[in-house]
């Protein structure tokens, strides 16, 4: 008999109890130590960027598998459990206001690891751009509220960040890892995790958006007065949301709110940022996106002008790449890549078995890991 069900990442408010966080930190420290000793810092960073391994680690440490809180709690636990002097890895940033401290924390750990000024600035840029892309270049209604930056003493890095949609109380997690992309604006993610794929979402990082990105760069190189004229000519007399992209089967009220907040033509652009871009004359879309003040409305406005005036369409396909959409609590999640999943489980199982833990703790951890595996 086929087993079916749905696993979501609902928003759970409140905090994890201290007793649980204390136990999670203790166990995480042992597991991370063994993984880094056995496989190296780079493998650990790569695993953090694997959504299944990340979720499995949260389960092994004892946190609820289906909560959006696994992201914030697990990265918080790892920030305390991973010791730079011992592991050669550091975790910067976190949830809410803590995420704003990421640049200064990168500077501090960069000095501790002996990085050059240029290297520290590269890491700060990676942190900034990964957040800018997921908050601005991808618009599916999930503004970020969590940003964690992992970095090794060799300068390898990974990012785990999460956004929330208050309209339907769901979360979406974004994974990045260094070395797998050439530019921050062309399909750079190792994974985007969510249980809901939007019928329409603006994705300026998609391969299909390449010509639209180039046109947007050309647009800001023009005199801002010309761009204002194009914006006025592109916008209908009566402000419309993009209803032609919205399926008729979707409840109207919910999607009217979503379209107005996320997909509508902006009333105006940030003209100060546009003027900065005009003076700067960006060479490519990444340089354009990196300019301070270029936010979601400006990105959306430029994309819509590029489409309506020049016919260069951006991608309106939601870029979610992995989804915890199969299985119940006794088999979560159903893996897209079984071989990769099996490797993840093997690494975690070996780490647990070698950890200096009591037999009961090992048994409980292995049982939680076993429950994470799908039934075949």
| pLDDT tens profile 80-109 | 999 999 999 999 999 999 999 999 999 999
At residue 242 the predicted structure's pLDDT band, cuts being 50, 70 and 90, is very low
- Single out the residue in 264, 285, 310 at which a domain terminates: 310
Q: 192 has which bridge partners? A: 174
Domain limit, last residue, from 310, 334, 351: 310
Residue 35 lies in a domain: yes
Residues 144 and 23 in one domain: yes
Task: Check whether residue 362 and residue 260 sit in a common domain.
Answer: no
Does 13 map to a domain?
Answer: no
Same-domain check for residues 105 and 248: no
Residue 258 structural domain: 207-310
CA distance linking residue 163 with residue 6, whole number of Å: 20
The three-point CA angle 268-141-146 to 5° equals 110
- 176 and 253, same structural domain? no
Q: What is the mean pLDDT of residues 235-246?
A: 50
Query: What would the mean pLDDT of 29-40 be, rounded to a whole number?
Result: 88
- Inside any domain, residue 276: yes
In 3D, which of 135, 352, 131 has the Cα closest to residue 369? 352
Q: For the purposes of burial, counting CB atoms within 10 Å of the CB of 220, is it exposed (0-12), middle (13-18) or buried (19 or more)?
A: buried
Is the peptide bond prior to 333 cis by the omega test (within 30 degrees of 0)? yes
Distance CA 107, CA 133 (A): 22
pLDDT score for 1: 35
Question: Residues 50, 193: one domain?
Answer: yes
Are 35 and 183 part of one and the same domain? yes
- Asked whether residue 5 carries a pLDDT value surpassing 80, the answer given is no
Split at pLDDT 50, 70, 90, the class of 335 is very low
Task: Assess if residue 242 is contained within a domain.
Answer: yes
Using a pLDDT cut of 90, give the percent of the chain over it.
Answer: 49
Give the mean model confidence (pLDDT) for residues 129-148. Answer: 95
| pTM of the predicted structure, to 2 decimals | 0.81
DSSP code per residue over 244-289: GGS-TTS-HHHHHHHIIIIISPPS---HHHHHHHHHH--SSHHHHH
On whether both 354 and 259 belong to a single domain, the answer is no
Do 109 and 243 sit in the same domain of this protein? no
Q: How far apart are CA 374 and CA 376, in angstroms?
A: 6
The residue count of the chain comes to 376
330 and 235 co-located in one domain: no
The pLDDT score that the predictor gives to residue 19 is: 65
Q: How far is CA 279 from CA 166, 168, 224, 275, 287, in A?
A: 37, 41, 10, 6, 13
Residue 92's H or E segment, with its range, is: strand 89-95
Read off the pLDDT of residues 257-303 as tens digits, 9 standing for 90 and up. Answer: 555 555 666 767 889 999 999 999 999 999 999 999 999 999 999 99
4 assigned to some structural domain? no
Residue 306 lies inside a defined structural domain of this protein: yes
Q: pLDDT tens digits, residue range 161-213? A: 999 888 777 889 999 999 989 999 999 999 998 877 888 899 999 999 999 99
pLDDT of residue 360: 67
Say yes or no to pLDDT of 9 above 70.
no
Q: How confident is the model at residue 371 (pLDDT cuts 50, 70, 90)?
A: low
Q: Which residues pair with 10 in a beta bridge?
A: 170
- Number of independent structural domains in the chain: 2
* Position 245 confidence tier, pLDDT thresholds 50, 70, 90: very low
Considering only CA atoms, which of 228, 208, 221 is closest in space to residue 305?
A: 228
Flag whether 181 is in a domain.
yes
Q: Is residue 11 part of a domain?
A: no
Instruction: Look at residue 351 in the predicted model and tell me its pLDDT.
Output: 77
Higher pLDDT, 101 or 5: 101
Count Cβ neighbours within 10 Å for each residue of 53-63 and write b for 16 or more, e otherwise: bbbbbbbbbbb
Same domain, 169 and 51: yes
Confidence of residue 222 (pLDDT cuts 50, 70, 90): very high
Q: Which residues make Cβ contacts (< 8 Å) with residue 217, sequence separation at least 6?
A: 282, 283, 284, 285, 287, 288
Answer positive or negative: Cα dihedral of 100, 67, 296, 130.
positive
CB 39 within 8 A of CB 29: no
Contact 316, 138 (CB under 8 A): no
Q: How confident is the model at residue 25 (pLDDT cuts 50, 70, 90)?
A: confident
């Amino acid at each position: 008999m086929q087993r079916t069900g749905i696993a979501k990442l609902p928003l759970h408010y409140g905090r994890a109890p201290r007793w649980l966080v204390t136990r999670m930190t203790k166990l995480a420290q042992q597991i991370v130590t063994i993984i880094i000793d056995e496989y190296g810092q780079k493998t650990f960073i790569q695993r953090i960027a694997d959504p299944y391994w990340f979720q499995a680690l949260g389960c092994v440490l004892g946190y609820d598998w289906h909560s959006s809180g696994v992201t914030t709690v697990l990265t918080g636990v790892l920030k305390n459990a991973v010791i730079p002097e011992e592991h050669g890895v550091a975790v910067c940033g976190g949830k809410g206001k803590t995420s704003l401290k990421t640049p200064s924390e990168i500077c501090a750990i960069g000095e501790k690891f002996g990085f050059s000024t240029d290297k520290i600035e590269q890491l700060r840029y990676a942190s900034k751009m990964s957040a800018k892309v997921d908050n601005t270049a991808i618009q599916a209604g999930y503004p970020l509220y969590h940003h964690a930056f992992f970095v090794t003493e060799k300068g390898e890095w990974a990012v785990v960040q999460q956004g929330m949609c208050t309209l339907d109380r769901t979360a979406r997690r974004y994974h990045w890892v260094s070395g797998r992309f050439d530019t921050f604006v062309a399909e750079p993610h190792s994974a985007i995790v969510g249980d809901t794929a939007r019928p329409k979402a603006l994705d300026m990082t998609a391969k299909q958006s390449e010509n639209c990105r180039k046109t947007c760069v050309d647009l800001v190189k023009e005199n801002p007065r010309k761009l204002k004229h194009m914006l006025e000519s592109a916008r209908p007399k009566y402000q419309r949301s993009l209803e032609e992209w919205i399926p008729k089967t979707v409840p109207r009220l919910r999607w009217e709110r979503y379209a107005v907040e996320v997909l509508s033509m902006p009333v105006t652009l940030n003209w100060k940022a546009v003027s900065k871009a005009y003076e700067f004359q960006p060479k490519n879309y990444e340089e354009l996106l990196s300019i301070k003040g270029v936010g979601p409305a400006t990105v959306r406005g430029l994309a819509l002008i590029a489409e309506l005036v020049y016919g260069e369409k951006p991608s309106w396909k939601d870029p979610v790449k992995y989804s915890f959409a199969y299985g119940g609590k006794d088999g979560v999640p159903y893996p897209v890549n079984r071989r990769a999943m099996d490797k993840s489980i093997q690494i975690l199982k070996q780490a647990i078995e070698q950890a200096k833990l009591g037999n009961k703790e090992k048994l409980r951890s292995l049982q939680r890991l076993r429950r994470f595996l799908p039934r075949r």
